[in-house]
Chains A and B, each alone.
Chain A
Amino acid sequence: MNSADVAALLAQLDAAMAATATPEGESEAPERHTAQALRFELCAQDFAIPATQVRAIARLGQVARLPGVGPHIAGITTLRGAVLPLINLAAMLGLTIEHPPQQVVVVADGPFEAGLLVHRVDALVPLPPPLPLLDTRPAQWRPLLQGELDTSESLVLVINVGALLGQAARAL
């Protein structure tokens, strides 16, 4: 994905976030599913993150490792002049990495902001209420995922950003 693609994707994200925002005093129409998610690939598995929790997409720059933290924190980098912690999502999910991820999806939830290391950012996809996780999914995934989206191409795992960042913040 080149910088023009990233810029286009960010513009789509901004539009999606504006579309999903509910003006004060108005209630959401329950039958409409205008929510969207950013789909990406990591270790040959498709994942999605609610678009409202995506802050930026970037290529991985210089990474400095952190002292005394576990493998789930890949280090820190600098993005737009600010320090950004990088989460090794593959390590948190127990996925085997064949080649290091080179893209970063910056996500936020409450006070936490971090970059997730991913192999390929794909596209915005509709985000209906996800289905429950298949029973065959590993137990360690369950606290970190909202569920699955059954698209025509594949099953997409929807990340629970709040749970993911909370677990990353607590883990030593």
Chain B
Amino acid sequence: MTTTTAGDGAPSLTALCLTAGGEQWAIPARHVGRTVAATLGPMAGGGWVRQPSPAHGAIQVAIDLAGWWALPASPADTVAPESTPTYIILPAAEVGVGLAVREIGGLRHLPLAEIQPVPALLRATLGARGCWGIIPPTTERPEPLWLLDLWALLRAAVGQFAVLESHP
């Protein structure tokens, strides 16, 4: 794990923080190549694969983070999915697939001491969708932060989509 040191000297993980489906997420910065503003086409197979507009020709598909986690779509998605402004997060090595989210919150230094692994009981549900760690809620911050492995998430989502496509 690549770590940095936060202002207080404690070891930390630099991560890109996001909001999608009403949840807070973070991706290690070293996984991220760049982010682009995009307009996505309608939802395709499985409810999580979106086609970006032609202006982003290098990106073949985008995985909708909220859709992949089966979270309720925002009202904006329901009204006009193809015109919802979106960001696509591209992995450090471009592979033609990125992660689509509504909101990017910027980079944060997450103290390593606060990061906990996904409990064994939840690995089949959370781990299989690309979540590798949790920063539990506190009284000051009531929402948990879900840490994502961008590579694992994209691989799992594309793999699941391929299964669905081959068994319509």
Q: Which of A's residues lie within 8 Å of B, judged by CB?
A: 62, 64, 66-69, 73, 76, 78, 82-85, 111-114, 165, 168-172
Contact = CB atoms under 8 A, between A and B. Distances in A.
Contacts, number: 63
Interface of B: 21, 23, 69-71, 116, 118-126, 129, 134, 136-137, 139, 142-144, 146
Given A76-B136, A83-B116, A113-B119, A64 B124 contact: no
Nearest to B68: A68
A69 B126 CA distance: 8
B142 A64 contact: yes
A94 to B, nearest CB: 20
Contact of B126 (A62, A66, A112, A114): A66
A165 B123 CA distance: 12
B21 A83 contact: no
Contact of B120 (A64, A67, A113): A113
A145 to B, nearest CB: 19
Contacts of A78: 136-137
B136 A67 contact: no
B134 A83 contact: yes
Contacts of A82: 116
Contact of A67 (B116, B119, B121, B146): B146
Nearest to B125: A69
A170 B122 CA distance: 9
B136 A83 contact: yes
A15 to B, nearest CB: 28
A168 B121 contact: yes
A76 to B, nearest CB: 7
A112 B120 contact: yes
Contacts of B119: 76, 83-85, 113-114
A171 B137 CA distance: 24
A114 B70 contact: no
B144 A76 contact: yes
Contacts of B142: 62, 64
A73 B119 CA distance: 13
A85 B123 CA distance: 11
Contact of B71 (A68, A85, A172): A68
Contacts of B134: 76, 83
Contact of A62 (B21, B121, B137): B137
10 contacts: A64-B137, A66-B125, A66-B126, A68-B69, A68-B70, A73-B125, A76-B136, A83-B118, A169-B124, A170-B124
A61 B102 CA distance: 31
Contacts of A84: 119
B120 A111 contact: yes
A30 B10 CA distance: 55
A165 B125 contact: no
Given A68-B70, A83-B134, A172 B120 contact: no
